[in-house]
Structure 1
């Protein structure tokens, strides 16, 4: 009598991971904050001529409304990324959101150019704090795998969409209400995040608490600030002006010093071996070129469309919406293009 044949059990199919209700709320709060940061980059662009007229900015000084924000955001993001590791990412995230809400209220109530510029600097500092802290909280809230990939994918898509939404929303608010609402719209969003986040978001820190690396922080922050300032002065007074040359040369010198400081630092802000990778070099170069050309294009087109062609703020916002739509499509298809064509080919074709 033959033994009964035994069939091997069918392999278990791993269920598709689903987010819990708490994870969905965490994702909504963090993505909402990052989306608001992205919107802030463009929401005031279409209102620049109206703001200048209302507060008495001269045409040559109008760029400082955007530059004051960019100086603080670009100069302090790297430093605040390390500060988040020291004091806690959740704590810095909440502090940044509080500053963002308060500075937006100050900007909306501004009655002089000086007050508005102070508000823009504070908004830039808040952006420099919220961006790295929020991204770190997002990655630690989801374990490595499909859920984290989905969360990061949504974050990238919303950051791209923020430019479009900001341009259209800025034009709509300026046309229907006032340019001041381009600031005021941030206040309730920041308040909602501050109310809900403390009980929902779990704090995270690195396993080993790093040191601050004060020399590195001082040199890279100072170098970035001087470079951005020098580029701004070049557009206002010319490349050969003493102030422009002094700022650019000093900024470049400080960044060179930063490189030598990081070589000897026990806990460097930026491990230099990472910067030597080809993918990082290509990515940084392409990102720098894209950011510089995009932001200058938006500033010049804002003035051209409204001051020369006579577009309303809303029409200008809709025109930038077309550019933003291209950004969203490019951001959505970019990952697939990199997978099929490779990093270098995608960057060259995109450029």
Structure 2
């Protein structure tokens, strides 16, 4: 919604994102960690981090396209990151300019379960031997547990903010929520975590004047650099309660038991069930791992923002549209130019 009573809570995160390069450079120098710029959540961050390679997602500058297309806007990238990691088969890889840091294609596996996580294990080991200085099998268990606790805390805070906002959409706009997602993915977890907890506490305490009655919807696109289109869609009568964005809620969907005696196998197995992106998984797998379940989570409509999709996302729209209709969830294919009109027309038919 355009109304945002608590938008001031997000201002510190906005300011940090404006200065992301200064923050990451300073963190890199102080921590001594190697930092990998990643284009999406293709690997379990905590395993890489405990082996000395901290994955941070690239900030998005290229609206509606892959994060790779914004690389040319990052000055002196070698002072921020030690390498760039993209999933093998990434639809945006062709947009990568000549860089002063190495580019690694990560062999993100398809499928799920035992076979998939064994392939993930091999891909992670290759990455970490190249850039982390040690394979994850040699990682210290206590260091891994500490990393898992920290990532768990960030993810739970982000999920909590999104969940409370679902019932109180007038407190934070979609633009505000997008800043939360972006900061939590782009900045080191140890830096951002202290800014997220007060936001969730204030949201829980604040009263909402929203009367409800909006249609719960999922928005589908690649990277959203300006979430104002989502606020306009909400003004037209559909509440964005879920998304399938490269830069959205799905980045924070999993937490792990840091006290487990089999932590690495459990992380790898759980991670293999993430739906991922169309550059990594075929549409059939993404349906099985995600779209089959959205009706049970209260989603009644999927809004495909076609002009904000990369080639891989756009390719899957028709297959997903057909599967959604069969499952009883309405699909609506729109562009940013006609989204509000089409959503209003849809709401008027109900």
Q: How does the TM-score come out when normalised to structure 2?
A: 0.31
Structure whose residues are more often helix by fraction: 1
Q: Which has the larger radius of gyration?
A: 1
Structure whose residues are more often strand by fraction: 2
